Amino acid sequence: MELTGRVIALTGAADGIGAAMARRFAAEGAAGVVVSDVDAEGARRVAAEITAHGGRAVAVTADASSKKDIRMIVDTARAAFGPLDLFCANAGVAFGTGVHAAETQWARSWEVNVMQHVHAAQVVLPEMLARGDGYLLFTASGAGLVGAPGDAPYTVTKHAVIGLAEWLATTYRPRGVRVSALCPLGVRTAMLEPGIAARHPTALAIAAAAPLLEPEEVAAAAARGIAADEFLILPHESVRHDFARKAAAPDAWIARSASWEG
């Protein structure tokens, strides 16, 4: 999908990868961008930056785990710019906890990292299927392909969203709706950098696995991947290699992987 002239909405877009994608997609000539986040001030700031540079954007305060809020984002896009072409489910949470994570952490991980994407598909598919055109971009993670030592809820839910994306792509691509899973490893964001500073095992493992990218580099990879209609968009090329090694020899992969109890 070419981004020029398209109506786009993003969750988790007040900073980090989401904000970088909002700016990049606007610069690519999007007809309008809906910048949504639970951080109302951050969403307004990103939308204002886009409009200051000649783009069209509106900000929405929304919880990505709420189907009602997802519907509000889509309705806002339609009212402001026209029917939605691309929905980017980008919001995510990580707690850096193992299998004994609190039930609230497991529940929140599932709500944001998985059910957000389910809700997005349920809301946008009817209209996209009716016109035979549309795109869903799910920000998963390299952890959804090769794991994240030390963070069980994050690893499990990111694997789940890639499974959902694959099912949607298999089911709806023949009817004109494309689906991509964006799977970066370490990115210099407010989600990862505090963990590195605190020397958390998960953050250190991710930082050691591949060079840290800037959010703008991930946004550029996302734009290229959408234009090429790639299912797996891999800003870190090493993820492609590691995923292939894991698939070829899963027992050897597990044996090589670092262990962490939590």
The CATH number that applies at residue 228 is: 3.40.50.720
With pLDDT > 70 as the criterion, what percentage of the chain qualifies? 90
Look at residue 169 and tell me if it is in a domain: yes
Q: What parts of the chain have a pLDDT lower than 50?
A: 261-262
- What pLDDT was estimated at residue 262? 45
- Between CA 107 and CA 123 the distance in angstroms is 22
> Any catalytic annotation for residue 154?
yes
Number of structural domains the chain divides into: 1
Look at residue 66 and tell me if it is in a domain: yes
- pLDDT tens digits, 204-255: 666 666 688 899 999 999 999 999 999 999 999 889 999 999 999 999 988 8
Look at residue 1 and tell me if it is in a domain: no
Task: Tell me which residue range forms the domain holding 20.
Answer: 7-256
Active-site residue, from 106, 154, 172, 243: 154
Look at residue 261 and tell me if it is in a domain: no
Look at residue 262 and tell me if it is in a domain: no
- What pLDDT was estimated at residue 19? 97
pTM of the model: 0.92
